[in-house]
Structures are given as C-alpha cells and as structure tokens.
Structure 1
Amino acid sequence: MLYLSEAPELLLPEVSVSDCGRSCVVIDLDETLVHSSFKPIGNADFIVPVEIDGTMHQVYVLKRPHVDEFLQRLGELFECVLFTASLAKYADPVADLLDQWGVFRARLFRESCVFHRGNYVKDLSRLGRQLARVIIVDNSPASYVFHPENAVPVQSWFDDMTDTELQDLIPLFEGLSREEEVYTVLQSMRPT
C-alpha cells in the first residue's frame, strides 16, 4: 500500500552520458511491437518458454512489420525504455530476442505500473525524467491515462503483415528528437 507521505522511488537510473540531452521514449511491448499467443502460430518469429504456476508453456511471438527498423532508428535518436504491463518472466526473454541492438536502456514490467481502476497504468512522472521530454508509444490509452499529452498512440497489432504504422512513425520521431519539449508537436497530432 502506498501512503501519500511516501515518495515513490524513481523507476529509471540516472541518464547515461550517451543519452544526455536526449528525450526519453517509453515503448510498450504487446500489440505495439509484437503479438504473443499460447496457441501455436506457424510463422512465429520466436518461441519463448515461460513457466507459469510450475508448468512450462511455449509462447509464440510475432514481430510487427518494420519493428527492427523502428527500434534501430529510435535507439539512435532517444533514450529508449521498454515499459510493459506484462510479467518480466515473459517480457524479458522476448525483449532479449527482439532488441538485438541494445536499444532499450532499461526495461520496466508490471510491478512498475500503478494499478488504477482495473488497469495497469504507466505513471511517467515516476521515471525521473523531465515530462516535457518524455514520449510514450502504446496501443492502450488506459496505459497512459495519467499522461495522454505525452502519447503517440498506435493501433493494436495482432497479425496484419501489411501493417506499416511503425515505419510511418519514424519521420515523426526524427522530428521529435530535435524538439526541446514534445507537447507542441504531440498536441498538433491530436484530433480536436
């Protein structure tokens, strides 16, 4: 139980020298970068063994089209953090396979979320970064309900191999990487 007198610990370590001056992009995993299933998927990119309640399960993981290009480019421009409401025992091995380039400077899992009105919310104010320089990429508005002005929403992705959303977002992020604060650009994207 968190009491108001307790200051929550920051979720991220101090900014590394190589990321100094960069904005921070918080990136969701499931239905944003990948889709995972306990049911066998013939064209799975990865099969990850996960132990749940003493039983080993195979998790079949499909990578969203253009995810490699997206992660590599964002890793060149931003401090990138994986933040998922999934459990670490599933998400960590998936991230190991997905992030071949060491793009994610940190990984945050379900225990770093705030449980709020039945949802796991990613409270960006707990990152220890200037909020005007934080962007969250997520398919679930409930995940960023505390900070909608920091969001770049994406459509939930399951298996459409013709999807180009991640590729289409790269120019936006290239522009955002040059901004001193992200709110002006992100506000111009929101429907009025």
Structure 2
Amino acid sequence: MTCSLLVLDLDETLLHTYREPTSNVNDYWDADYVVYAKDRRSCLAGILRPGVTEFLVWASGIFEVVVWTAGHDDYAQMVCKLLDPEGTLINHMLSRRTCIRMRSAATGDIMYVKDLCALGRDLGRTFLVDNTPHAATLNLSNLIPIEAYLGGDSDTKLKELQRFLESNLVRLTDRKNDMRILLHRQLNLKRRLRERIDNWKSTQQAFPTS
C-alpha cells in the first residue's frame, strides 16, 4: 500500500494535559502521567484519550505518522516517550518551533499554525487531525476535525476516526487520487467554516457599536 502521511495534533486530540500546584497531588489519582516542574511547586498531569495506543498501533502500520504539538520541545519529547516508549509508532515529533506564529486581528490572541507544506510531502496524501481548525489555516483542505478531549473514559472519537480512515481513505492507494477531494466531499469543511463566519457577522450587525 502506498504510504500517506497522517499528522496528529497532541493536546485535546490524543490526550489532555493540565497544570496544577503540587499541593493538589491527591487530585491526580486517575491521571495517566504526572511530571513535576523543577521547582516542585507545580506539575503537569494528564489523561490519555481512550484507545490512543490502539489507534497509534493501527495507524503506524498504514501511515507515516507525525505528531505535531504547539507545545515546547521538552514537552513534546516527554509525551512522545509516553505514547511510544519503544519508538516504533511515531515517525516524527514536531513542536512549537516548527509552527508559524500568528496573531488574531480580532482578539489579539497568539495562534500557532501548522503549515503542512513545510513537511515536504505530497499534500494530496497528507491529513491533519486537529481539534482546533485555526491550526490548519494554511491547509484547510487537509483537515480532519476531531472533537476536543477534556477527560473521561467514554470517549470514542479515535475509534470513529479509525473507521472514517478505513472506509474512506486507506482503500484509495492509487497515487493519482488526491485525498483532499474526498475530504471536501465527506466533510465540506470550508462551507461549514464560511457558515460560522457568516453567522458571526450577522450577530455583529445586530449589536451596533455606537
């Protein structure tokens, strides 16, 4: 089978990480990992999304797998070892320094955009799974959106993602096929985003500024 590239977001896609003071250590009884800061005053605790290991095992047998986080290098390396301790499931781990830093004109917030062109792969066979659509601003046609994971053991989104990939993408092995056409037909993401923008504009018009 011809290899395609599957780019996976990290936080709220494969796991949920949160920072807490160490005084709340009793609250971490259900965490899958806890990493203490150097000053021992705070720590990062987190929960793996249900089915993440099984999903990575499946994906690694079909795709070239990249995990791309807007977090810093040390965080990315720590989580990579957690998700793939044997180094056999994830081909590449990318961090914030490989993102494009942008500021929202509307809110002033800093956004980190993942430019798939920088990976040097065929964009017709590259997919980005991310819970934040703005991360795919430059490559919306490659985006497979996923609902944010904030904890809980009843989440089934990774199983649903695997079924989607199996039924719609993996079976297409002809290099002449541009997978973005299929994503456009299945998800119609650009239309949905335009509808959100139009709805936002209509609410702004309903509230005069003067």
TM-score bracket relative to the smaller structure: 0.7 to 0.9
- Contact 2:76-2:94 within 8 A present in 1 as well: no
Pick aligned residue for 1:144 from 136, 148, 170: 136
Alpha-carbon offset, residue 98 of structure 1: 1.2
Pick aligned residue for 1:72 from 57, 72, 76: 57
2:72: which partner in 1?
A: 87
* Unmatched segments (≥5 aa) in structure 2: 21-26, 104-109, 192-210
CA distance in 2 between counterparts of 1:142 and 1:49 reads 30
**TM-score, L = length of structure 2:** 0.75
Residue 113 in structure 1 maps to residue 110 in structure 2: no
Residue 62 in structure 1 maps to residue 43 in structure 2: no
Pick aligned residue for 2:185 from 181, 188, 192: 188
Q: Which is higher, the Rg of structure 1 or of structure 2?
A: 2
Highest relative contact order (Cα 8 Å, sep 6+), 1 or 2?
1
Pick aligned residue for 1:160 from 152, 162, 166: 152
SS of equivalent to 1:72:
helix
Alpha-carbon offset, residue 135 of structure 1: 0.2
**TM-score, L = length of structure 1:** 0.82
Deviations 1:25-60 (A, max 9, x none): 110100000001112432011112344xxx354211
Alpha-carbon offset, residue 139 of structure 1: 0.5
Structure with greater helix share of residues? 2
CA distance in 1 between counterparts of 2:84 and 2:171 reads 24
Q: Note closer, same or farther for the CA distance 1:186–1:93 as it changes in structure 2 (3 Å cut).
A: same
CA distance in 2 between counterparts of 1:90 and 1:78 reads 24
CA RMSD across the alignment: 1.7
Alpha-carbon offset, residue 81 of structure 1: 0.4
2:170: which partner in 1?
A: 177
Pick aligned residue for 1:41 from 28, 43, 68: 28
CA distance in 2 between counterparts of 1:100 and 1:72 reads 12
Count of paired positions: 170
SS of equivalent to 1:129:
coil
* Unmatched segments (≥5 aa) in structure 1: 1-19
- Contact 1:29-1:84 within 8 A present in 2 as well: yes
CA distance in 1 between counterparts of 2:35 and 2:90 reads 19
Deviations 1:120-164 (A, max 9, x none): 000001101011111001100111111111011001111132110
2:90: which partner in 1?
A: 104
